[in-house]
Structures are given as C-alpha cells and as structure tokens.
Structure 1
Amino acid sequence: MDEETAPEKAGYRRSAGSARGEVRRRELLERVTDEVGVNGLVDFSLRRAARAAGTTHKVLLYYFDGPEDLLTQAVLQLRERRIDRSLTAAGLASPTLSGRVLAIWPVLVGEESWVLDQAIGLAMYDPGRYAELARTASTRYLPALISLCPPQWGDERKCEVSEFVLATLRGFLVEWRTSGDGPGIEAGLAALGRALDHEEATV
C-alpha cells in the first residue's frame, strides 16, 4: 500500500513511524513550514498545505493527525528556526549577558516574526484547539535564555533572570506589533540592558 492510497486513520499509519517514513514526514513538514512562514496562518488548510508540499491532503493525513497537528508542527518548526538564529546572534555579541540578550531583539522582530505572533493570537482566541502553540513557547524559549546566563550562576538564579527577560521581551513584542513605538521600545531595551548589567555585577 503506498502513501497516496493509505487509509487516513491514525491506527493504519504505522509506516509513518519508520526511518524512511520519518524522513518523508520531515521533508513534507519543511515544505509546509516554508509556506506558512510566507503566507501566515489565516485560511490555513490541508489542501493549501498539500499544494505547498507538492502532494495531496490524503498524504498529509498519512503523516499528521489532521490540520491542527500539521499547523502546530509547522509553527514549532518556525519557532525552532527563530531560536537557532537568536542563539547565533547572541553568540556573536559581546561577552556580557546584556549584550547577548539585546542581540536577540533584531531576530525576534525579523524574519517570520509576524507568523509567530499570529500563532500566539490564535492560541488565545481558540485555546481549545490551539493551546499547544502558546504552551510550548516558554518551554522552547526559556532553555535558550538560560543558556545565555553566566555559567557560574546557580540554576535558580539563571531561571529567575531568564523568566524576567522572557516576560520583558514578550511585552516589547506586543508593543512593537500593536503600536510600533520604536523609540519607546528602544528606551525599554536600554533599561533592560542596564538591569542585566546590574544583575551580572551582583555577586
């Protein structure tokens, strides 16, 4: 039985878990993710995703548990790309924590950021279907921020500071998306940098 004619019920999609099936699933997901990154989440459907992936909606149902699952996986993929770019930017920045954190901001408001903002909005609008989009955000971003903290800090301190940074950057992202107050956000980022410099100087 080939994937074009395979039954759509999840219980029959056993070969999707094979090594070959996983490669195929990742290939399809990459194509759909690229499409979502360009066109956003509005009016997302299996047929639209299938066109982007160069296949049929039945094939996508062979590898994914419906449109919500596929959309969630695509958003998570976009988020991973953003985190990877953020860590790269932070790694090229100054040796201070504030320098590393502030280097992330251009990435957060750069490529595909509007799609990830849509994802959070969708999770707030319809949490019953899309809560996972918001729930996984902290679990993905927090470890990345913790990794930027000075290595001599204890785990509790790293977590506290990272939570503070995450909440602050989220607030700035909402402000940037809703008001576009560039000067105000720049002033806020400068204050965040000073707070982190003070924290790092505290023994």
Structure 2
Amino acid sequence: MNISASAGEGSPDRAGYRRSAGSPRGEARRRELLDRVTEDLAANGIVDFSLRRAARAAGTTHKVLLYHFDGADDLLVQATVQLRRRRIGKALAAATEDGARRSLGEWVRAIWPILLSDDEAAVLDQAIGLAMYDSGRYAALGREASQQYLPTLLAVCPEHWSGQRKLEVAEMVLATLRGFLVDARTSGDTAGVAAGFEALVRALEREEAAGE
C-alpha cells in the first residue's frame, strides 16, 4: 500500500482548509477539486493513491492541492468521506423508496444489497483496511466511518427507545455489517455471510419486539 505523504499532512489545524474556505470562490474551488479526486478514488481505489495522482485527476498541480488541503492524507480522508456520504444516500433512498414505515430489521435488509454491491463498496472497504493496517496514521478513515453511519442508524431505531439502547443497537449493527462486508470480500463464503445476515435480522426483530 503506497499512500504518498507530504509535509504538514495530518496537521490538526487543517491549515489548507482554512486558506481555501476564506471566500466563497475559494470554497467552490476546493469542492470542485475534491469532486474530481473523489471520482478518481471511486474508479481506481486507494492503492497507489498519491498527491501527484490526485493532481492529475483534478487537472491541476500538487501545489494547488496543497493550498486547499493539508496533503495526501487529508485529501484521502475527505474524498473517502464524500464517497461514503454518497453510499449512505443510496442506501437511504433504497430503504425509503416506497414510503413505507420499516422495522429496524426490514430497514437493514433493504440497505444491505447497496452496502454489498455498490460501485464504491470496495474502495470504502480498502479505507477500513488501511485504518487497521496503520491506525497511527489513518485512524481517521475508520473514525469517520463510524461518525457517518451512526447518526443514520440511531435515527431508524424505534423512537421510544432510550438513547443508550439506540446507541447499543446501532453500534452492534454497524460492527456486524462491517464484519460481514469484510468476510464477503475476503472469504468468498456468500452462503455463510447470508446466513449470518439473516441471523442479524432475526435478532433485530426480537430486540424491537421486546421493547413494544
């Protein structure tokens, strides 16, 4: 895995973002560049991602990217966040397309095909793998994943549940689905993953029924 580094990457003060966010024009330019890099990431994955590759994809120079972002690591995290936001949007659209009120188990069943087979799934799985491989440098890739998925999972839990119960179930669903996705990518055991997924749905149905 070769993710090129640049001076100042990972800086907590996000200086590059502050520079470009100083004006509407600067922010628009930053978003335009990020959109182009995100498309490249979706098409070509994380392996061999670098500032130079990102610059080619964005049709600019690495110096311009360093004006708007804090280096390759920062750009990788932001592009991954944008990809995951698109994935969540697709999943929500699939789960709500008929307007019906779904139980938590039904909701998870509705989004599962999107999580398993959408075009960006492999890239986002690579991001989690990179966070596990080098947590010191890429912990944000895993942390951002939880921060993005949890609000949606909390929102679809039964309204009458306590905040603590919602959090416990949402964390369980997130961790279990993530495990299934890794297993599906690495083992090829589709039957085993399918069986485990059905067990998860039954567990969620029991959990929801127990609170009624």
Confirm or deny a common fold (TM above 0.5): yes
Does the CA-based 8 Å contact 1:119-1:133 persist in structure 2?
Answer: yes
Alignment of 1:83-94 (within 5 A): 83-92=88-97
Structure 1 runs, 4 residues or longer, greater than 6 Å off: none
- Percent identical pairs in the alignment equals 65
Classify 1:156/1:34 alpha carbon distance in 2 versus 1 (closer, same or farther; 3 Å). Answer: same
C-alpha distance in 1 between matches for 2:134 and 2:60: 29
Cα distance in structure 1, aligned partners of 2:87 and 2:201:
21
Structure 1 unmatched ranges of 5 or more: 1-7
Paired residues of 1:16 and 1:22 also in contact (CA < 8 A): yes
Greater shift in the superposed pair: 53-62 or 122-131: 122-131
Q: Which residue matches 1:188? A: 196
Alignment root-mean-square deviation, CA: 1.9
TM-score, normalising length from structure 1?
A: 0.89
- Secondary structure in structure 1 of the residue aligned to 2:60: coil
| Aligned 8 A contact 1:16 1:62 in 2 | no
Other structure's SS at 1:103 match? helix
User: In structure 2, what residue type is equivalent to 1:53?
Assistant: A
Kindly indicate whether residue 109 of structure 2 is the aligned counterpart of residue 102 of structure 1. Answer: yes
- Indicate the residue corresponding to 2:34 in structure 1: 29
Contact (CA 8 Å) 2:19, 2:67: kept in 1 or not? Answer: no
Query: Closer, same or farther in 2 for the Cα pair 1:15/1:48, shift >3 Å?
Result: closer
CA distance, structure 2, for counterparts of residue 71 and residue 15 of structure 1 = 17
TM-score norm. by structure 2 comes to 0.86
The CA distance in 2 between the partners of 1:15 and 1:129, in whole Å, is 24
Q: Is the 8 A contact 1:41 1:119 kept in 2?
A: yes
Q: What CA deviation, in whole Å up to 9, does each residue of 1:111-144 have, x standing for no partner?
A: 2111111111111222222111112211111111
Q: Structure 1 CA distance, aligned partners of 2:96 and 2:204? A: 17
Shift of 1:35: 0.4
Is the aligned partner of 1:167 residue 2:172?
Answer: no
Where does 1:50-89 land on structure 2 (aligned, <5 Å)?
A: 50-89=55-94
Q: What secondary structure is seen at the aligned counterpart in 1 of 2:34? A: helix
Pick the aligned partner of 1:176 from 173, 178, 184. 184
Task: Identify the match of residue 120 of structure 1 among 128, 137, 143.
Answer: 128
Number of equivalent positions: 195
Distance 1:181 1:15, change over 3 A: closer
Whichever residue aligns with residue 87 of structure 1, its letter is L
Are 2:162 and 1:157 equivalent residues in the alignment? no
Q: In structure 2, the residue corresponding to 1:104 is in which secondary structure?
A: helix
- Residue 146 (structure 1) aligned to one of 139, 151, 154: 154
Instruction: Tell me the secondary structure at the aligned position of residue 150 of structure 1.
Output: coil
The answer to whether the Cα contact below 8 Å between 1:75 and 1:116 also exists between their aligned partners in 2 is yes
CA distance in 2 between partners of 1:15 and 1:107 (Å)? 34
1:111 aligns with 2:119: yes
The answer (yes or no) to whether the contact 1:172–1:185 under 8 Å persists in 2 is yes
